[in-house]
Amino acid sequence: MLLNNLFHKEMTRQILILAVPAIIEMALSTLVGLADTLMISRFIGAEGLAAVGFANQIVFTLIFIFSSFNAGATAMVARSYGEKNYHRLNKIVGQNLALNFMIGIIVFLTTLFFAPNILNLFDISPKVMAMGISYSENVAISQLFMFITFAGAASLRGAGDTKTPMFITGLANILNIIGNYLLITGFGPFPELGVQGAAISTSIARGIAALLYLYILTQGTSGIKLVFSNLKITGYILRPLWRFSYAAALEQLFMQLAFFVNGIIISQLDTTSEAAFRILINIESTSFMPAIGISIATATLVGKHLGENNPERSLTIGKTAVLLGIIWGIFMGAIFITIPVPILKIFTTELALINKATHSMQIAGINQAPLAFMIILGGALRGTGDTRGIMFITALRLWTLFIPLTYLFVIYFDYGVTSVFYAEIISFVVFSIIAYRRFTAMKWAKIRMF
């Protein structure tokens, strides 16, 4: 009876209709990182793997902070879509794309010219440093393409179209995997470029994805029609977009700074531990892709029902989605705990790496359910427009528990890579309770977007 009340079959169906394509998209998107990780690990070794890991930490720190306008845009598009206000919806789409384009140029130039300076913050060997700089310089242009794809995907998802982003991401990943193999190994007539080849392949794939999004948006789908006049930024859209996005930007700033500091702490370990950490992060990133997909669907449906003036239905959608996430987390946790070695062997054949990562992966399995819970609940709160609430929760979780505990476990208790997952478990369990209470209090029902 309890499960029937929580699941609400019709709402579960609505969530899954939107979530499954988003899950596939997220899974395919992760293949970009996985393809690089697998091929660099196999063809170059631990140094190349560590170099790309540190370089991507810089890149994704910049991306996640500055792409936060898309969190507000998705909520605004979903609310407008629920109200059937397509004129305003298309203004949001155009202006958000223009903002992403401008920010993309800034991030591209920052990555291109300042990556060597930022890499110097890490305690890494000269060889890893050289590889990291090479990768960063060659992947820089792809940041502009990524911001265009973020804007396009956010707009389509807000209007309930999760299939188109899935297909575009799938194509881009196929191209990236092929390009990786050709340019890393020097297959046939192609030059053997190592980590530089991985970066070039990624840039080409992301560029093609950006062009496809622009084409789809200009053709008109799901009520969206991109026209040139809507690219002009106006206060009518910018003010609410800023109001609902700045908190998401601050959330990402706190989060990425925490990951950055976490990377510095991990860099105090040996190169084998650093490489093991990168492999484990890639594996965990794959495991919570379904939770991110459900989170995307939840944000869209919560916003849509608020646009229809039905906050109770938004609440039920959120509760149902969270339960789905917990079930998924328990399932993945069981896999992590019972068969870590076969999974690790997919990423590396080095026995030292496997031995270093096995116990940490089992501990990470315990973290899967609370991790999925927080990802999905965060999506629900963002869908309501309560970006400030989830920002404070995330910042406090990271900086009062996660980072201090990671430092304590690494430096003083010498738990190695496992320290990160001990710290995650404790911080997620504590703040999951706080986040759930905020969502069920329903203060977000009074938030007005326009």
SS3 per-residue string spanning the chain: CHHHHHHCHHHHHHHHHHHHHHHHHHHHHHHHHHHHHHHHHHHCCHHHHHHHHHHHHHHHHHHHHHCCHHHHHHHHHHHHHHHCCHHHHHHHHHHHHHHHHHHHHHHHHHHHHHHHHHHCCCCCCHHHHHHHHHHHHHHCCHHHHHHHHHHHHHHHHHCCCCHHHHHHHHHHHHHHHHHHHHHHHCCCCCCCCCHHHHHHHHHHHHHHHHHHHHHHHHHCECCECCCHHHHCCCHHHHHHHHHHHHHHHHHHHHHHHHHHHHHHHHCCCCHHHHHHHHHHHHHHHHHCHHHHHHHHHHHHHHHHHHHCCCHHHHHHHHHHHHHHHHHHHHHHHHHHHHCHHHHHHHHCCCHHHHHHHHHHHHHHHHCHHHHHHHHHHHHHHHHHCCHHHHHHHHHHHHHHHHHHHHHHHHHHCCCCCHHHHHHHHHHHHHHHHHHHHHHHHCHHHHCCCC
pLDDT at residue 212, rounded to an integer: 96
Please state, in angstroms and rounded to a whole number, the distance separating the CA atoms of residues 418 and 358: 10
**Model confidence, pTM:** 0.76
Alpha-carbon Rg for the chain, nearest whole angstrom, is 21
pLDDT at residue 2, rounded to an integer: 40
Q: What residue ranges of the chain have pLDDT lower than 70?
A: 1-7, 29-37, 58-59, 61-62, 449-450
User: Which distant-in-sequence residues (6+ apart) come within 8 Å of 173 by Cβ?
Assistant: 28, 29, 31, 32, 35, 205
The count of structural domains within the chain is 1
User: Using one digit for the tens of pLDDT, what is the confidence trace for 178-200?
Assistant: 998 898 888 888 888 888 888 89
pLDDT at residue 393, rounded to an integer: 95
| 282: containing domain | 2-446
Q: Which two tokens stand for residue 122?
A: 């890490």
Question: Are 275 and 51 contacting, i.e. CB atoms less than 8 angstroms apart?
Answer: no
**Terminus-to-terminus CA distance in the chain, angstroms?**
40
pLDDT at residue 3, rounded to an integer: 47
pLDDT at residue 7, rounded to an integer: 55
Matching residue, tokens 């919570």: 288
User: Which distant-in-sequence residues (6+ apart) come within 8 Å of 249 by Cβ?
Assistant: 65, 66, 68, 69
pLDDT at residue 1, rounded to an integer: 39
Please state, in angstroms and rounded to a whole number, the distance separating the CA atoms of residues 222 and 18: 13
pLDDT at residue 450, rounded to an integer: 64
Q: What is the dihedral of CA 299, 10, 24, 344, to 10 degrees?
A: 100
